[in-house]
Amino acid sequence: MAKHSLDKDKIKILLLEGVHQSAVDVFERAGYTNIEYHKASLAEDELHAAVKDAHFIGIRSRTQLTEEVLSQADKLVGIGCFCIGTNQVNLSAAEKLGIPVFNAPFSNTRSVAELVLGEIIMLLRGIPQRNALAHRGGWLKSASGSYEARGKTLGVIGYGHIGTQLGILAETLGMRVIFFDIEDKLPLGNAQQVHSLQQVLSLADVVSLHVPETPQTKEMIGFEELACMRKGSILINASRGTVVDIDALAASLKEEHLAGAAIDVFPVEPKSNDDEFLSPLRGLDNVLLTPHVGGSTAEAQENIGVEVAGKLAKYSDNGSTMTAVNFPEVSLAQHSGTSRLLHIHHNRPGILIQINSAFAEKGINIAAQYLQTTSEIGYVVMEVDSDQAEDALVELQAIEGTIRTRLLH
């Protein structure tokens, strides 16, 4: 009978955007050697071609895995976002295709918090404009517009993994921390939750954004919100470029309502380091412009590589989907002495009964069975005797509502 489970060297892993070597090491240690590695993102047509025969794909924030791209990836089994944000992937399209998406929710958070802390100090001192002027031969030795961070108010919008760490670091400088979040959050240190965005904006000397990209956060800082901010205050955005109306920000800076800004993420970012960066903020000396490097440190990238590659290898070896962002989560130990079957199906009543009756009719003994569902899909993992595994797979493939099946020996 045909063997349905793929040998590891046939499993193609496509890694884009220069994910850290640590990811390659993890895959190789787990026995996966068919790795296609790209230092940068791929152009759209190259991406379409490369995903066609990939079983796993690893990306960072730049590569857009749209429904169209995913629909061409016939063999795709799992996606790894080697970063925090997963907004670049059409998560529900991936879910409906039975493809779990994994990310690294913590590994680069400290790096972002540290960068923002440095920017707060630089901007409060008016350093960006003094630095720019000095490069042009100017000399702006003056205390005017220069402040200590001590005693100033930091307003954090989005008090999650990054926002909380930033709050703690800022308190060590003597800043007062207030935050706005749609959820009730445990305030760390002496931070205080404020239940209105406008109130945070009107109270803070520095506002820093740490929300994910969602329909609700799209341009959550526009003309009106900027007008609410205190004259002479500072805006920092290292979250997503869609969160700030960039033209409104440019206007507010030019009118000298805001004293400065630090922006790491943009509504449109260059596709590669060779493309020109276009922005209405270019040329404004009091704005720190960084090329989406909030999480780009050696430490963060190495840890992310280990974390996400580990999750993908575990899913490939064991079927474990713990911490997947779009998929039923099943935690599974390594199996031995049996074969494991994975069955992903549309979440309809009666699928498990159909599977169990089909197996009973064929005399296939189920040694273990796990089921988890989301509103869209169900994920069943079964263990059967290895000599019955191929027959069991054929039975599973015939179940109505099946999205995909896999057999792990």
Closest CA to 123 of 111, 112, 115, 113: 115
Decide: helix, strand or coil at residue 157: strand
176 contacts 154 by C-beta, under 8 angstroms: yes
Instruction: Return the number of the residue (302 or 391) whose C-beta is nearest ligand HPV.
Output: 302
Coil vs helix vs strand at 261: strand
Nearest-approach distance from CB 264 to ligand NAI, in angstroms: 5
Whose tokens are 């970012």? That residue is 269
Exposed e or buried b per residue across 74-98, where buried means at least 16 C-beta atoms within 10 angstroms of its C-beta: eebbbbbbbbbbbbbbbbebbbbbb
State in angstroms the smallest separation of the CB of 21 from ligand HPV: 15
Q: Is residue 303 a contact residue for ligand NAI (CB under 6 A)?
A: no
- Total of chain residues touching ligand HPV, rule CB under 6 A: 10
- The answer to whether residue 308 forms part of the interface with ligand HPV (CB under 6 A) is no
Query: Does residue 266 interact with ligand NAI by CB under 6 A?
Result: no
Q: Which does 60 bind (CB under 5 to 8 A by kind): ligand HPV, ligand NAI, none?
A: ligand HPV
Question: What CA–CA distance (Å, rounded) separates 250 from 257?
Answer: 10
Contact flag: residue 58 with ligand NAI (CB under 6 A): no
What is the enclosing helix (H) or strand (E) of 380? strand 377-384
Contact pick of 182, 360, 367, 398 for ligand NAI (by CB under 6 A): 182
Q: Which residue has the tokens 């190495």?
A: 302
Residues in the chain: 409
- β-bridge partners, 13: 35, 56
Site string for ligand HPV, 79-108 (x = CB under 6 A): ----xxx----------------------x
Which residues lie closer than 8 Å to 13 by C-beta, 6 or more apart?
27, 32, 34, 35, 36, 54, 55, 56, 57, 58, 312
SS3 79: strand
Secondary structure of residue 234 in the 3-state scheme? strand
Candidates 122-130, 146-154, 213-221, 381-389: pick the segment binding ligand NAI (CB under 6 A). Answer: 213-221
- Tokens encoding 354: 């159909």
Determine the interface stretch with ligand HPV among 54-62, 70-78, 170-178, 352-360 (rule: CB under 6 A): 54-62
Residues 6+ apart with CB under 8 A from 302: 20, 22
Stretch near ligand NAI under the rule CB under 6 A, chosen from 64-72, 175-183, 198-206, 381-389 = 175-183
Closer of 129 and 296 to ligand HPV (Cβ): 296
Q: How many other C-beta atoms can be found within 10 angstroms of the C-beta atom of residue 325?
A: 17
Of 216 and 334, nearer to ligand NAI (C-beta) is 216
Does position 61 interact with ligand HPV (CB under 6 A)? The reply is yes
For ligand HPV, the binding residues in 104-123 under the rule CB under 6 A are 108
Pick from 162, 258, 324, 344: which binds ligand NAI (CB under 6 A)?
162
Name the binder of 210 from ligand NAI, ligand HPV, none, CB < 5-8 A by kind. Answer: ligand NAI
Only segment of 4-12, 129-137, 273-281, 287-295 that touches ligand NAI (CB under 6 A):
287-295
Catalytic residues: 240, 269, 292
The whole-angstrom separation of Cα 234 and Cα 286 is: 10
Question: Should residue 59 be labelled a site residue for ligand HPV when binding is judged by CB under 6 A?
Answer: no
Under the criterion CB under 6 A, does residue 296 sit at the interface with ligand HPV?
yes
Options 214, 272, 331, 397; binder of ligand NAI; rule CB under 6 A = 214
Please report the DSSP string for 344-377 in residue order: EEE--TTHHHHHHHHHHHTT--EEEEEEEE-SSE
Cα–Cα dist 59/80, whole Å: 6
State which residue, 97 or 265, has the beta carbon closest to ligand NAI.
265
User: Can you give the binding site for ligand NAI, defined by CB under 6 A?
Assistant: 84-85, 108-109, 112, 157-163, 180-183, 210-214, 216-217, 238-240, 264-265, 292, 294-295
User: Can you give the binding site for ligand HPV, defined by CB under 6 A?
Assistant: 60-62, 83-85, 108, 292, 295-296
